[in-house]
Structure 1
Amino acid sequence: MTDTIAVLTGASRGLGAGLARGLLRKGTRLITLARRPDAELQSLAAQHGVELEQIEVDLSDLQAAGEVAERVCASLPRDAKRYLLINNAGTVEPVASAAKLTDGAAINAAFTLNVSAVILLTARFVAAVQDLAADRRVLNISSGAGRNPNAGWGVYCATKAALDMYTRVLKLEQGNSGVRTVSLAPGIVDTGMQETIRASDPENFPALAKFQEYHATGKLAAPADVAARILAYLDRDDFGNTEIDDIRNYN
């Protein structure tokens, strides 16, 4: 019998790639949703004897997100001891001052990826595992940007704030006996998103120099290290007691 079934979004690079590798544990079946497959991950899974299914999907496409959510969750085995959903995929774009946020398609894509896809996938996941006698957990990768405003990040801050509130509602609905859920800020991680941030126009993102300094002085955390800490957090017995959290609160 499979001990753990884990569904992970945004698994092809950065923090998601670190989480995917950390989930390659004996007894785990890992399902990843990403824009591109990871050949190295497939090889590592074979070496660890882990069943891996990689699904190529653009979760910023609302129809595609809904279809893959339904398909993945409808096919989940029902005899595992633990079920995990890690909503990690996200984007910081578009980066612009409030007066310049006029690209409706970019705004819509960001909200779809950062919020709507999470809601769709979580809804299907919760429905699929609702009546199972198993440990069921949802981890939403949020950001301090959802709790503290940053000039130029009107869309990013808004999506992460929405994600935090959605998580609070889910916890309220599920209570203490249902699916446990947390919206977790991972800190400042050395990922492709940080590269995007550092390439921002300083007119659109006044805090640019601060983020460039983080990189230049080695203050960005390594994705693999943060992933390990997040997975340890996910394993905690008190997971879900605090639904809005930050990995930097833990050693």
Structure 2
Amino acid sequence: MSINTVAIITGASRGLGREIARQLLAPENCVITMARSHDAELVAEAAKLNAKLQPIQSDLANPAAAQRAAMQIANALPEGAQRYLLINNAGMVDPVSLADGLDQPAAITAAFSLNVTSVMLLTAAFLKAVKPRQADSRIVNISSGAGRNATTGWGVYCATKAALDHYTNVLAAENHGVRVVSLAPGVVDTGMQQAIRSASPSDFPNVDRFAQMHDKGQLASPQDTAARILRYIARDDFGSKVLDDIRQYD
């Protein structure tokens, strides 16, 4: 059977990334997942559907590990697919603190490594692998409204997502023959949201707003958001707007 889509998804062991991977599982697709932990349930579901799934365990907050994962992509991307996707979904919100408390270099470095450095490394490998194939190739960098609006207590998170947005603008300007979008997914009911709600108000003054959104059922589900993102990726005009927000689409 010929391959329709080869999709690489980072942060795929839980939340939005896992749901995107799950919805892509099909006999005609090849799904490559990257996460720190092994997801036995996703492997079992892929086997049940006779779907091709290649899990890669990697801590992308470690630049050396991210580089090894990037090399695996470059060396093992299946040939002959109609479409190649790279969905850079992995991300972290920590450390959460007002600016005068951002004094832990290891935590700051880990956030930049995961949210920005790993994206650059994986993208470089993806571009090198897909360029000779002349296939329809698309990159989605999962960004955040935090990269476009200052949020008190999220100095690191806002900075990394702003960097991700601007890096995506550079990718588009360089015109590698690959369509790229930095996409804000809205507020999704994931483990990251649980972590946000557990933050101290002294570090994150907006914590009550996020708690109220959860209590009032205003968080989008990972299932619905993943489906909307996959419909968005399949659009003929994908890439025409480099910085975008899934909430603008049905």
Query: What is the TM-score when the length of structure 1 is the normalising length?
Result: 0.97
Contact map agreement 2:26 2:52 (CA 8 A) in 1: no
Residue in 2 that maps onto 1:169:
170
Tell me which amino acid in the other structure corresponds to 2:61: S
Q: Within 5 Å, which residues of 2 pair with 1:178-197?
A: 178-197=177-196
- CA–CA separation in structure 1 for the residues paired with 2:227 and 2:207: 28
Aligned residue for 2:58?
57
1:88-237 counterparts in 2 under 5 A? 88-174=89-175, 178-237=177-236
Deviations along 1:73-113, whole A, 9 cap, x unmatched? 22112211110000000000000001110000000000000
Give the length in aligned residue pairs: 249
- Secondary structure in structure 2 of the residue aligned to 1:219: coil
Query: 1:129 deviation in Å?
Result: 0.5
1:163-199, CA deviations, whole angstroms, 9 ceiling, x for partnerless residues? 0000000011116xx0000000000000000000000
- Alignment check: 8 A CA contact 2:144 2:161 kept: yes
After TM superposition, the runs of 4+ consecutive aligned structure 1 residues lying more than 6 A away are: none
What secondary structure does 1:67 align onto?
Answer: helix
2-side partners of 1:73 and 1:246: how far apart? 29
Could you tell me which amino acid in structure 2 is paired with residue 3 of structure 1?
N
How far apart are residue 241 of structure 1 and its match? Answer: 0.5
Deviations 1:110-140 (A, max 9, x none): 0000000000000110111112221000000
Name the CA distance, whole Å, in 1 between partners of 2:118 and 2:29. 24
- CA deviations 1:176-229 (Å, max 9, x no partner) are xx0000000000000000000000010010101100000110001111110010
- Aligned-partner SS, 2:133: coil
Alignment identity in percent? 55
Cα distance, 1:2 vs structure 2: 1.2
- The one-letter amino acid of 1:67's match is R
What's the secondary structure of 1:228's corresponding residue? helix
The answer (yes or no) to whether the contact 2:185–2:246 under 8 Å persists in 1 is yes
For residues 93 and 115 of structure 2, the distance between their equivalents in structure 1, rounded to whole angstroms, comes to: 9
SS at match of 1:131: helix
Question: SS of 1:149's equivalent?
Answer: coil
TM-score by length of 2: 0.98
5+ long unaligned stretches in structure 2: none
How many Å apart are 1:23 and its aligned residue? 0.8
Q: Secondary structure at the match of 2:132?
A: coil
* Contact 2:145-2:184 at 8 Å conserved across structures: yes
1:95 is paired with a residue of what secondary structure? coil
C-alpha RMSD of the superposition: 0.8
Instruction: Provide the C-alpha distance between the structure 2 equivalents of 1:51 and 1:25, rounded to a whole number of angstroms.
Output: 7
CA distance in 2, matches of 1:78, 1:56: 22
What SS class does the counterpart of residue 229 from structure 1 fall into?
A: helix
- Where 2:27 maps in the other structure, the secondary structure is coil
Q: Which SS does the other structure have where 1:130 is aligned?
A: helix
